[in-house]
C-alpha cells in the first residue's frame, strides 16, 4: 500500500479565507471562523490517521491584533471552545499539543487552558499539533539571535563558532521534524511572516480553496503534489 503522506513528516498550513467564505455565503464573519475551526478539527484527524508526524497551523499572527476588537474576541472565544472540546480527543488519539509564538500575552484563562492542555498531552507521540498563536517568524528568529548573543556575551560561545544549528535550535519548532510542505489556502501567494527559516527548502503549495472548504480531498492533493516533485535542496 502506498504511503498516503508521500514522505511528508511535517506539514504547515496558513489557514486563510474564513472571512471570504462567510462573505460569499452572506453570513457573519464569525461564522466563517467557526467553520474554519471545524476544518481544523477534520484535518487534524485526517492527518493523524494518514501518519503525518507533525502539523503546524497558523492560527493567530502577531499582526492579527490589528483586526477589529469584536473579531479578535470571537477568535479567542473559539480558541477556548476548541481546547475544551478537543483535549480529550487529543489524549485518546495520541496527539501532542504544542504552541509556538508568545501565547503568554493572551487572556489569563486561555493561557491556563493552553498550559494544562500542553501538560496533559506531553506524553503523546503519535502526532504533534503545533498551533502558532501570537506568532511571527521574524520575531522568532530575533529571539533565537538574542539567545545566541547572550551566550556569546557570557563567554559560552565564540562568534566564529556560531553555525546554522545555533539558530535552528533556538526556534520554537526545534523539537519538530524539518518542514517538508507548507500549504496556503484562499489563493494568496505569500508566506505572511510564517516559518520563514523553516521554509528555506520546504515545498510550497498554494490552493484557491478557502480554508473552511479545505478537506481530506484537498489535503490528499497537496500531499500528492509534494510526492510528484523532486527535492534537490540546492543540488542538480
CB distance 47 to 214 below 8 Å? no
CB distance 130 to 54 below 8 Å? yes
Active site residue 64: yes
Active site residue 139: no
Question: φ, ψ for residue 62 (rounded to 5)?
Answer: -65, -20
What is the Cα–Cα distance from 74 to 121, expressed in whole angstroms?
26
CB distance 229 to 200 below 8 Å? no
Crossing angle for the helix pair 69-93 and 29-50, to the nearest 10 degrees: 20
Which position among 3, 18, 42, 64 bears the catalytic label?
A: 64
CB distance 148 to 162 below 8 Å? yes
CB distance 128 to 154 below 8 Å? no
Cβ-in-10-Å burial (0-12, 13-18, 19+) of 2 comes to exposed
Which position among 16, 86, 172, 180 bears the catalytic label?
A: 16
Query: Which residues belong to the active site?
Result: 16, 64
Amino acid at each position: 500500500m502506498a504511503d498516503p503522506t508521500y514522505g511528508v513528516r511535517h506539514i504547515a498550513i496558513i489557514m486563510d479565507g474564513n472571512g471570504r467564505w462567510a462573505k460569499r455565503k452572506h453570513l457573519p464573519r464569525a461564522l466563517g471562523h467557526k467553520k474554519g475551526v471545524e476544518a481544523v478539527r477534520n484535518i487534524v484527524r485526517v492527518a493523524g490517521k494518514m501518519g503525518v508526524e507533525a502539523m503546524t497551523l497558523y492560527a493567530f499572527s502577531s499582526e492579527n491584533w490589528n483586526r477589529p476588537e469584536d473579531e479578535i474576541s470571537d477568535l479567542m472565544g473559539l480558541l477556548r471552545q476548541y481546547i475544551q472540546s478537543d483535549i480529550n480527543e487529543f489524549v485518546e488519539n495520541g496527539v501532542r499539543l504544542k504552541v509556538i509564538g508568545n501565547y503568554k500575552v493572551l487572556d489569563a484563562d486561555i493561557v491556563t487552558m493552553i498550559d494544562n492542555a500542553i501538560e496533559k498531552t506531553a506524553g503523546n507521540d503519535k502526532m504533534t499539533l503545533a498551533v502558532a498563536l501570537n506568532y511571527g517568524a521574524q520575531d522568532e528568529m530575533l529571539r533565537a539571535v538574542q539567545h545566541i548573543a547572550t551566550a556569546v556575551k557570557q563567554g559560552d560561545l565564540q562568534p566564529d563558532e556560531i553555525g546554522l544549528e545555533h539558530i535552528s535550535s533556538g526556534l520554537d519548532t526545534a523539537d519538530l521534524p524539518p518542514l517538508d510542505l507548507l500549504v496556503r489556502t484562499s489563493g494568496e501567494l505569500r508566506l505572511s511572516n510564517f516559518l520563514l527559516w523553516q521554509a528555506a527548502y520546504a515545498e510550497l503549495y498554494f490552493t484557491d480553496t478557502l480554508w473552511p472548504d479545505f478537506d481530506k480531498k484537498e489535503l490528499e492533493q497537496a500531499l500528492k503534489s509534494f510526492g510528484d516533485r523532486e527535492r534537490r535542496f540546492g543540488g542538480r
